[in-house]
Chains A and B, each alone.
Chain A
Amino acid sequence: MSVSAIEHRAALGGKAPLISTGVTLRTLPEGHVLHLLSASADSDVSATISAVLGCDALTKRSVSPGQWFVVGDEPLSAAALADIVKKVKPHAEVVDQSHGRVRIAIAGAKATSVLAKGTAADLALNVFPVGHATTTLIGHIATHITRVSEDGFELMVLRGFAESLWEELAELSVEFR
């Protein structure tokens, strides 16, 4: 039997940041993405999970009623993951999606304008404030969007779509370079 080590290769490994005055695209570290699923969509369940994990709206992001993504730049050790599962278990199931979902940061004065060309979701700051998250289509790619600052978003996609989304965003932002 041959033995080979599993080598981690970032889905967007070779992509250098695209930086311009209007908009900047950056790949984010493939740290961790945990999908939390609760049978209950009650807001107190959400608050309880945030409390036991000690995390804010930028770390634990809304997906749909009773579902959240917990994200971070650092990979989780097996022990750290087990600890989170233990804390969350009474309230929700935890599915490790760190290998399956990839994050891209888009920021700048024209970030909203770039995204608005790809999605019909309303990204206006008053209806989509910092910490708000939703899933929508960007072109043909289902993308989870989180507003992380007034002019910055994080986009999360299934790994296999990451490169397509990156290339699409690069094209959509050409006019703002």
Chain B
Amino acid sequence: MASLIPCPHCGQRPREEFTVKGAALVRPAADAGRNAWLDYVYLRDNPRGRYDEHWHHTSGCRRWLVVTRDTATHEIEGARDTAARTETVE
């Protein structure tokens, strides 16, 4: 169930403590084309299955996390601090 989120700083916490921001996507390069930015800002795939999302631990440590969740089963695979995430620009 998606009701308990394993915050890397605070431990297991109920989802009521969090704010969900949506898909955690790789940010395009600053000089990427108009279409790349349009995709990044507006277009979402709405996949069935594994999904990376930004969750903010609003009523806890107030850190932004990337939570990996299964959209079909609501199973939580893990959560990590966004600062610990290494992005590679496509």
Contact = CB atoms under 8 A, between A and B. Distances in A.
Interface string A58-71: 00000111000000
A135 B61 contact: yes
Interface residues of A, number: 12
Contact of B9 (A65, A122, A127, A137): A65
Given A136-B17, A137-B17, A64 B63 contact: yes
B76 to A, nearest CB: 15
A120 B59 contact: no
A127 B81 contact: no
Interface string B3-19: 01000011111101100
A38 interface: no
A147 to B, nearest CB: 14
Given A64-B9, A65-B9, A65-B81, A120 B14 contact: yes
A135 B4 CA distance: 16
B49 interface: no
A134 interface: yes
B56 to A, nearest CB: 12
A18 interface: no
Contacts of A11: none
A120 B63 CA distance: 18
B10 A121 contact: yes
